Amino acid sequence: MALDSKVPKGPIKDKWTEYKNHINLVNPANKRHIDVIVVGTGLAGGSASATLAELGYNVKAFCYQDSPRRAHSIAAQGGINAAKNYQGDGDSTYRLFYDTVKGGDYRSREANVYRLAEVSANIIDQCVAQGVPFARDYGGLLDNRSFGGVLVSRTFYAKGQTGQQLLLGAYSAMNRQIARGKIEMFNRHEMLDVVIVDGKARGIIARNLVTGEIERHSAHAVVIASGGYGNVYFLSTNAMGSNVTAGWKVHKKGAYFANPCYTQIHPTCIPRSGDYQSKLTLMSESLRNDGRIWVPKNMEDVLAIREGKKKPTDLTEEQRDYYLERRYPAFGNLVPRDVASRAAKERCDAGYGVNATGEAVYLDFAASFERYGKEQAKIHNISNPSEAKVKELGQEIVKAKYGNLFQMYEKIVDENPYETPMMIYPAVHYTMGGVWVDYNLMTTIPGCYAIGEANFSDHGANRLGASALMQGLADGYFVLPYTIGDYLADDIRTGKISTESPEFEAAEKEVTERIEFFINNEGTHSVDYYHKKLGKIMWDKCGMSRNAEGLEIAIEEISALRKDFWQNVNVPGTSTEYNEQLAKAGRVADFLELGELFAKDALVREESAGGHFREEHQTEDGEAKRVKEFQFVSAWEYKGEPKEAVLHKEELAYENIEVKERSYKFNT
Ligand SMILES: Cc1cc2nc3c(=O)[nH]c(=O)nc-3n(C[C@H](O)[C@H](O)[C@H](O)COP(=O)(O)OP(=O)(O)OC[C@H]3O[C@@H](n4cnc5c(N)ncnc54)[C@H](O)[C@@H]3O)c2cc1C
């Protein structure tokens, strides 16, 4: 099947406007006769459900939690980007577009990214109108901070709880429609298959997780907003329930899956403490605004710290290696996530890791305490403040910015990060890959859409910080509500879709049989046994560093593990009760299939891109030699403006990246 991105013609800056001017619309009376299913009510699905219902469509929204308020989006800490240029520091739609494409290693679809940058400003206005309490500066205007990979401050935030506040906004908007009867909300329901009738997505099979009942639901279109699949690695910063099932089911029914192996490995997570851990915790990237990352310069100090003979605070400035500041003076500690993660791994692989497992570097706030403290002393007219006073004043400022994150760190690690530097290490965080969508956000199944983290497209091989919330809300509030109308305009006379068709019958039968298999199998190993084993293969062989030999072994190992799973998995309980293990069995079964595709995708990509370092590209001195292939297919930017391309090449050369120029059709 030839992929058609359906990107409108014309200059990139006019595409979205022109598109909106010419698409088919559904008039308000007709919208009342059209049903839309939205699977997932995180920021992407929640905003889409609320907006579609506000427009007049009948929405059926599904989530597996007991409330949309508990979607994984609630975990987002740092912020959301928008090209508002409130700081007057040179930001613009073009710059946000440019940074996002560059941050994604030139592997995103430029037309989508430009649209994303364009609507980013509307998102902030929408959320402020909903009452989202974004942080404000001293004058009462919305405040911004900076995130990795950019040279401006464009990140809007609500302390370290941005996702939670945005989700409350989307949830309120949804609730208004639930109260009006325009959204029918199905909490604790899991979509287990999509139903295709005459080549179009016309419904889903869902399981009521409380009663176990299998239900048929029909609609004129189905929207997948089910989030990311980082939990294929078992340990990740994702919510425990995050999974690939909805995306995988539509893939198995014919929707293409793109870039499965592009995973973001976030540089600032709390290091793993041992083998019995089931979750990793993110420390927001915003901390890199004020924290400096280092490891000891000398191996004796590393060993002394590990043995408890020295504390990090015993080391002088000269004894520390602020390796990001040393290697990347322009960006310093705010290099993009992939660069920061690889650099931390490189130092730890070289033996400089500072904790017992050798997998930790320091994130140190001492310099910020001093800088803010001196400023505060001046502001408050305190002459000759003592060192302790300066530190105290500085800590108050840091506390106001990130207090909840410091508290979370102390609770988990049992060390006070105001007194000793935090320890951090990269962890799986976000999946750039997902269900392939065209410019309309439609998958290759007509009538089936994918939005938010569940789709691919906007972030290429690596997502910049604070851009996932932006994308999810752009898709849900501002893009899908237009594009879906263009498709649904043909459905105004279709009438209700019946669930009494052979297609619904067959899909329900398949789902029921699989559930019965799990309950009746009476195997020897728990679902988690398999999930952990899969996670270890993924992390060891499909993680930050990859090589052909390891990937080939991973493919064999995953395939053997899947076989074992289907013979020996044990699921306790029954299918007619609330049964977490049963739900998890289905999710892990899908991870076991995705894992293999993931490794195959990684194997054929003979390049280092995003967070992934292909070991065959290692140079003699151990540095990563990365190969980049520009997408000249849609590279309007580079064609007309050779200066830009030259600039990229200089930057890439700095990172020892070999630039291969060729037409790169994959991301159309
Ligand atoms: C710790 C952490 C911090 C982050 N911080 C930031 C940040 O500061 N800024 C930023 O931009 N991004 C951040 N991100 C990324 C961002 O939070 C996510 O990418 C984004 O919230 C995903 O939103 P979503 O709506 O696509 O999916 P989710 O919020 O994951 O929602 C998925 C929804 O799908 C439902 N669902 C899934 N499968 C099924 C199924 N089979 N049937 C029924 N329902 C289903 C779930 O119930 C849920 O409602 C962070 C991520 C993590 C892990």
CA distance 282 to 465: 13
Range 431-450 average pLDDT: 96
> How many CA atoms lie less than 13 Å away from 142 in the CB half-sphere?
26
Give residue 641's pLDDT: 34
192 Cα nearest atom in ligand 1:
41
For 91, the token pair is 């930001």
Q: What is the pLDDT of residues 206-227, one digit of tens each?
A: 999 999 999 999 999 999 999 9
Range 585-589 average pLDDT: 98
CA distance 332 to 348: 19
- Which one of 156, 453, 471, 473 would you pick to mutate in the ligand 1 pocket, going by the greatest count of ligand atoms within 8 A of its CB? 453
Residue appearing with tokens 């990139």 = 12
Please indicate whether residue 65, judged by its CB atom, sits closer than 6 Å to ligand 1: yes
- Residue of the nearest CA to atom 20 in ligand 1? 73
C-alpha of residue 640 to centroid of ligand 1, in Å: 38
State whether residue 183 is helix, strand or coil: strand
Range 258-266 average pLDDT: 92
pLDDT value at 69 more than 70:
yes
pLDDT value at 320 more than 70:
yes
Range 167-174 average pLDDT: 98
Q: What is the pLDDT of residues 295-314, one digit of tens each?
A: 999 999 999 999 999 999 99
Average pLDDT, the chain: 90
pLDDT value at 148 more than 50:
yes
CA distance 314 to 327: 24
Give residue 667's pLDDT: 36
- Residue of the nearest CA to atom 6 in ligand 1? 76
CA distance 186 to 66: 9
Range 50-63 average pLDDT: 98
3-state secondary structure 218-229: ECCEEEECCCCC
pLDDT value at 64 more than 70:
yes
227 Cα nearest atom in ligand 1:
27
State the pLDDT confidence band at 257, using cuts at 50, 70 and 90. very high
Pairing of strands 221-224, 35-39: parallel
Q: What is the pLDDT of residues 344-356, one digit of tens each?
A: 988 998 999 999 8
Please indicate whether residue 242, judged by its CB atom, sits closer than 6 Å to ligand 1: yes
Active site (annotated) includes residue 337? yes
- Which one of 150, 469, 591 would you pick to mutate in the ligand 1 pocket, going by the greatest count of ligand atoms within 8 A of its CB? 469
State the pLDDT confidence band at 668, using cuts at 50, 70 and 90. very low
Mean pLDDT check: name the lowest of 8-17, 409-418, 638-647: 638-647
3-state secondary structure 346-394: HHHHCCCCCCCCCCCEEEECHHHHHHHHHHHHHHCCCCCCCHHHHHHHH
Q: How many CB atoms lie within 10 A of CB 627?
A: 17
C-alpha of residue 229 to centroid of ligand 1, in Å: 10
Please indicate whether residue 48, judged by its CB atom, sits closer than 6 Å to ligand 1: no
Please indicate whether residue 64, judged by its CB atom, sits closer than 6 Å to ligand 1: yes
Please indicate whether residue 218, judged by its CB atom, sits closer than 6 Å to ligand 1: no
Please indicate whether residue 368, judged by its CB atom, sits closer than 6 Å to ligand 1: no
Please indicate whether residue 255, judged by its CB atom, sits closer than 6 Å to ligand 1: no
CA distance 225 to 207: 17
- Residue of the nearest CA to atom 35 in ligand 1? 40
Burial class (CB in 10 A: 0-12, 13-18, 19+), 495: exposed
Q: How many CB atoms lie within 10 A of CB 274?
A: 7
Range 272-292 average pLDDT: 86
Range 221-242 average pLDDT: 97
pTM of the model as a whole: 0.90
CA distance 647 to 667: 23
- Which one of 63, 404, 428, 431 would you pick to mutate in the ligand 1 pocket, going by the greatest count of ligand atoms within 8 A of its CB? 63
Q: What is the pLDDT of residues 121-133, one digit of tens each?
A: 999 999 999 999 9
Please indicate whether residue 51, judged by its CB atom, sits closer than 6 Å to ligand 1: no
Say which of 337, 546, 605, 614 is annotated catalytic: 337
- Do 419 and 425 contact (CB within 8 A), yes or no? no
Pairing of strands 183-186, 58-62: parallel
CA distance 402 to 400: 6
Return phi, psi of residue 4, to 5°. Answer: -120, 110
The fraction of the chain above a pLDDT of 90, given in percent, is 77
For residue 258, the surrounding DSSP H or E stretch is strand 257-258
pLDDT value at 633 more than 80:
no
Range 503-513 average pLDDT: 98
Q: What is the pLDDT of residues 360-406, one digit of tens each?
A: 999 999 999 999 999 999 999 999 999 999 999 999 999 988 898 89
Give residue 151's pLDDT: 82
What amino acid occupies position 431?
T
For 543, the token pair is 């993680």
484-487, long-range: CB < 8 A, 24+ apart: 484/36, 484/52, 484/221, 484/223, 484/440, 484/441, 484/449, 485/23, 485/24, 485/25, 485/26, 485/55, 486/23, 486/24, 486/440, 487/221, 487/440, 487/442, 487/446, 487/447
State the pLDDT confidence band at 648, using cuts at 50, 70 and 90. very low
Range 328-342 average pLDDT: 81
Return phi, psi of residue 145, to 5°. Answer: -130, 180
- Residue of the nearest CA to atom 31 in ligand 1? 42
Please indicate whether residue 163, judged by its CB atom, sits closer than 6 Å to ligand 1: yes
How many residues does the structure list for the chain?
668
CA distance 605 to 461: 12
CA distance 105 to 655: 13
Please indicate whether residue 432, judged by its CB atom, sits closer than 6 Å to ligand 1: no
- Which one of 155, 226, 265 would you pick to mutate in the ligand 1 pocket, going by the greatest count of ligand atoms within 8 A of its CB? 226
467 Cα nearest atom in ligand 1:
11
Residue appearing with tokens 């464009």 = 154
Give residue 658's pLDDT: 55
Range 155-159 average pLDDT: 92
Range 496-506 average pLDDT: 98
pLDDT value at 193 more than 60:
yes
Residue appearing with tokens 């293969």 = 537
C-alpha of residue 143 to centroid of ligand 1, in Å: 24
